[in-house]
Structures are given as structure tokens and as C-alpha cells.
Structure 1
Amino acid sequence: MSTLGQITPPPEWAPHKAVWIGFPSHPDLWEADLDQAQAEAVAFARAVHAEGRGEEVVLVAADKESAATARKLAPFADVTVELFGDIWLRDTAPIIDGSGRARDFGFNGWGGKYDLPGDEDIGARLARRRGITILPCDWVLEGGAIDGDGTGLVVTTEQCLLNPNRNPGLGKAGIERLLRQDLGYDRVLWLGDGLLNDHTDGHVDNLARFVGENRLAIPRSPENDPNWRVYQDAAERARAAGVEVVEIPSPGRVLRDDDVVPASYMNFYIGNAAVVVPVYGTAQDDAAVAAIRTIFPDREVHGLRADAILTGGGSFHCISQQIPA
């Protein structure tokens, strides 16, 4: 195996040793949605744990009071206390590479939009707590901005990785060089924009997800979906690159307080025993879960409501980061 192959992170469907899941902890951030967001996070964790048939679940709480709530609601989980700004561990926790080391990237609050205490170094603290070797990487990268198929192929969006609020001046060639150097990705599938009103600047885990080697799931739009052109462009780019596209129904237009929110079934999490799909009470929920069930016939596929978590801007994939076996 090449050196690159040794460091390439395993695909999400490969076996996991455990998963970190952020537990909503800050009343000032979540306000009236806090209790429901906690309940949704625990339901997600329970499905992933699958009564011991899945993987170890580590709920990460920001303070002792929240940790006590997490232990009460989720007695099946390990609960740890680490200061963080918010629960989006896909972006702030480390990415574990193919050699089992933690790649700890720079984090700047999604381009300077949300500067919250603890988010800048929680990745190193989580890795250190589990005794994982840490390799600092001196550029900004969030885990939700990329998705790999385990063969060296990675998908991302131009909107996010080329945004001057992350790594100004690098350009495509520079980003590709660093993805190869630090994560072993030797082929990059560049999609265009992400979802409307996604304050991560277009994270790919809300748009397109690898579900097999060279096999990419992308939403298919109902007529009312404000992102239909984004989905169409993504599918065209993927097919032009020789990547197989699997279409999944999209939720369509989802509103909160009359504003379009970035609701996406693509924010599913692939665990050892279960795939957990966020649903939002739309007419497409059942069809989307059924479509994803056909992709993963060897796993239980659950559609779980994620309305409250979505008020913070993400869903189940965004609040989790797996630790490969």
C-alpha cells in the first residue's frame, strides 16, 4: 500500500470503534429549542448504539450540568465534559486518518462567523483524552466540507474550500496539494455551490455523500426546492467526472419563521449497525428513507426528526465524528 493510501481516512461505512456526538449544552444558543435538540441528539445516539450492536457512543457535553442531563437521558453512552462553543463536532473534532492518527486542522468559526470559546482546540483535547496521536495541520478545514470514498477520491464544494474566508490565496491547486499531503486524497471532485442559507458556506455533507466507491448520493428536487439548480449542477459535474450518481428525494422547501433553512437528507450518519437519516415532516421523508435503505441493505436505516437541531444550522452528520476501528 502506498503512503497516501495509508493515511487516507476510511470511508464512513468502514467499521467504527466509536463516535463522538455533540450534546446541546448552551441555553443561550438553543433557547426554546434546547430540550428538543437534546432529545433529538439522544435519539440519534441510541440508534447508532443499537443496543450494543453498533458502536461506542461518546456524548460530549460542555459543562457538568449538561453532562448530568446527558447521563440521565442516555445511560447507554459514555459522557465526557469538554468546553466547546457548539455541537458541530464534524467540523471541530479531529479527522482520524487511515493510520489511526488525529489530523487536527485549523478552525476559524466557519470563516469568522461564529467565534465561540473552546471550538478552536476541542479537536486536540478529544484526541488527547483517547490517547490518539495528534498531527497538527496548519490550514483551515472542517470535516463537513469534504467526503471521501476510501480510494483517494474526495468530494467538496468550490463555495467552501475556495472561499477567501478560510485559506485566502491557496486556490484549487494549493487546496488539492494539501488534501493530498495531509489526508492522502489524490483525486478531488469539485462541486459548485452548497445549499441556500447554509452558514457553513456550502458544506458538501448537506449536498452530496459517497455511499460506495465512486458512488455518490445527490438529492433529486421536487418543484418547490430552492436548491434544484445546485443539485442539477452537482449531478452533472459528478457524472462528467465518471462518478456514479444515486439520486435521493430532497425535502423540498423547508421554512422556519418564513425563512428557507438548509434541510437535507444528505446529512445522514453511516454507523456500524445503522444509518440515521434526518427527517423534517415533509412529504418526501418516507421516500428518502426508503431510497437510502436500498443503498445500505445490511444496516438498519432510521428516519429521525431533526427539526430542533436544524435550528442551529445542521443535523446528525454535523454533530458527529467517527473514530475508525
Structure 2
Amino acid sequence: MTDLRFPGEWEPHAATWLAWPHNRMDWPGRFHAIPFVYAEILRHLARRERVDLLVQDEAAQRRAQAFLARAHAPLENIRFHIRPTDRIWMRDSGCTFVKDGDRLKAVAWTFNAWAKYDNWQRDREVAPFMAQVAGAPVIRGRRGDQPLVLEGGSIDADGRGTLLTTEECLLSDVQVRNPGMTRDAYERAFAEHLGIRKVIWLGDGVKGDDTHGHVDDLSRFVAPRTVVTVVEPRKDDPNHAPLAENLRRLKAATDADGHPLEVIELPMPGPLYYRGVRLPASYGNFYIANGLVLCPVFNDPHDRHALDTLAKVFPDREVVGIYSGDFIWGFGAMHCMSQQQPA
């Protein structure tokens, strides 16, 4: 597996994988708005690349098709698959596609609903299904003779052997995915399964993150040697200190080839609450597609700054803001819901 490589998200895609929303308990009291958010995402995304969309059953497929047609989403570029899921967070339940030379392969991690919920049985079957449809041989994620529990939202890569993750998610004693697994053991697993040569460990994630520290709310590679990271200048906000520490670590880090990183700061939106719960609203949860970047926005004064920053980072892509004030009540946004299949 010397040629194994985890491509950067900005590299060409064959498709994006999504699942049509159905679990009302993920957005209690606000589910009615979620299909409208999905339709807007699909309207933009399916203009740029094929979308492979999971639905619960034939009736759900008909409802989704009718909804998307009314929203003028390009149905001819949406491929429906009947595959029941527990939730729709394809970044975490789906496989991680890698390249072995010119050959596409699929790393199927073990999914256990973030070591927090008990309804994961259907989601656990999503990764091998994706691999089968894509015609990609499966690499079973393992740590020695044990299955390796991991979510795609906990890792981000530059396509050249460097990976970002967080200590809060993988090494803390809360929501423990792999009891007893050490930093070195994770690094060996990333090398074996993804061809990673260097792991950059950040500290804590954003407040309100149901996953306990996923890196895709924090810091993202946007090109080789270039990272976008969220910052919170307000010192009275609980995100200020951990995000400042992550920024410090990135500025001190080098990539797998020993090159320093260019670090671009992205603002955080103002605190967002619903029913007294701090929500993990972050502009860092954007998704990079072919010719397109989808970024969550929140009707916040910082929306414009975030979109302008990403437009400068991606001058050759259309940057589109997707209102996510309702969507984030499900504790995820554009990146959490999607999984790219490299071309």
C-alpha cells in the first residue's frame, strides 16, 4: 500500500454522497424546515457533480423527487439509492475513499454513533454499500485485531500525507471510540489505512459539538500547505481560548514534507442557542465540490466576512452561503452531511 493516498477534498469528484432527511428526532420541533435546506443544497450541488442520494424506501424516494422537482434541482444528475439509515450524517457513517495508485478504494471504519447513541445499526451498513456502488474494494478499518471506530468528520487531509485531527475527539475520556488506543496507535492506523505520514494534533473543538471535538468544525485543509481555521476574538466566549490554542499549534506545525503551513483565519458566528442549548455553529463546516463551495451561514454579521474569506481562498469556485440556522439544531452542517467520492 505504498501508493495509498487520501485525496484532498478540493480534488475532482466523481460524486457527492448524501442521505435524504427523515429522522425527526434529530431536529425536534424544526424538522419541517430541513427538506427545504436539502433542496437548496442539492439545487446547487447537482449542477456541479453527480449526487448519490440515499432514501429510506420507494415512497421516500417519490416524495424526495417531487420536493426536489419543485425546487428546480437538476434531477437528471441525482442518482437515488434505497438504503435505510438511522441518520443522515454521511461524513461520519460513510466510507472514506482513498486512492491506491490510480485505483479507488474505500476505507470502512466501524461506526457507533459517536459513542453516544444506540441507534447506529443501519448507519453501520452505509460504508460497505457506498463501496459496492462505487466499485471500490473495501479496506476494513482495524487496530490490530480489533475494528477501528472512527468518523470522517474527525479527520481532514491535504492529499499529500498530512492529516488534521483533535485530541478532544480521539484521546479524551469522553465518548471514547477506541478504549486504550494511544496517539501513536492512531498515527500508525492513519498511515496504514490512508497513507498518512504526518498527523497534526489540535486540542479541543467548538462548544456545543455533539461529536466531542470533530476537526471539520475547526480547521480544514483547502490546498497543500494551506489551512483555514476558525477563531473567536471575544475573550468572554468559551471558544476563545481553545481556538487560539489551535491557531498557535497550526502556526508552529509543518506538513509531511517539512514545509510550514499558511494559516488563514475564519471568523466564528455569534453564539447561537435554541431551547437553551449552545449549538455548534461554525463557518468551518463548509463543503468543497467541483467548482463550488457550500458554506453554512446564520443571518449573522460575520456571514459576509466568512464568505469573502472563502471566496479569496477559492477564486476558481463559486462560494454559496446556505442558511443553516434551522439545520444546525441537528448539530451538523454542510460538511457533516456529505461525503465525496474522488474522480
TM range (shorter): over 0.9
Aligned position for 1:39: 36
Structure 2 gaps of 5+ residues are 70-74, 143-147, 254-259
Q: Is the 8 A contact 2:98 2:194 kept in 1?
A: yes
Aligned position for 2:134: 130
Q: Deviations over 1:133-177 (max 9, x none)?
A: 212112011000000001100000001122451111121000000
Q: Deviations over 1:50-101 (max 9, x none)?
A: 2xxx110122222333222221123422222211110000001100001311
Aligned position for 1:155: 164
Deviation at 1:226, TM superposition (A): 3.0
Write the distance in 2 (CA, Å) between the matches of 1:172 and 1:21. Answer: 31
Q: Secondary structure at the match of 1:185?
A: coil
Q: Is the 8 A contact 1:225 1:252 kept in 2?
A: no
Matched ranges for 1:1-325 at <5 A: 3-4=1-2, 6-50=3-47, 54-75=48-69, 76=75, 77-99=78-100, 100-138=104-142, 139-164=148-173, 165-223=176-234, 225-241=237-253, 242-325=260-343
Structure 1 gaps of 5+ residues are none
User: What RMSD, in angstroms, separates the aligned Cα atoms of the two structures?
Assistant: 1.5
- Between the aligned residues of both structures, percent identity stands at 34
The residue type paired with residue 194 of structure 1 is: G
Q: Is the 8 A contact 2:266 2:309 kept in 1?
A: yes
Structure 1 stretches of at least 4 aligned residues deviating more than 4 Å after TM superposition: none
Which of 93-102 and 249-258 deviates more? 249-258
Write the distance in 1 (CA, Å) between the matches of 2:80 and 2:35. Answer: 13
Write the distance in 2 (CA, Å) between the matches of 1:278 and 1:253. Answer: 14
Write the distance in 2 (CA, Å) between the matches of 1:60 and 1:94. Answer: 14
Deviation at 1:110, TM superposition (A): 0.3
Aligned residues: 319
Q: Secondary structure at the match of 1:60?
A: strand
Write the distance in 2 (CA, Å) between the matches of 1:188 and 1:131. Answer: 29
Q: Deviations over 1:113-150 (max 9, x none)?
A: 34333011211122213322212112011000000001
Deviation at 1:222, TM superposition (A): 4.3
Q: Secondary structure at the match of 1:101?
A: strand
Deviation at 1:225, TM superposition (A): 4.0
Query: What is the TM-score when the length of structure 1 is the normalising length?
Result: 0.94
Q: Is the 8 A contact 2:311 2:319 kept in 1?
A: yes
Which of 60-69 and 256-265 deviates more? 60-69
Deviation at 1:28, TM superposition (A): 4.3
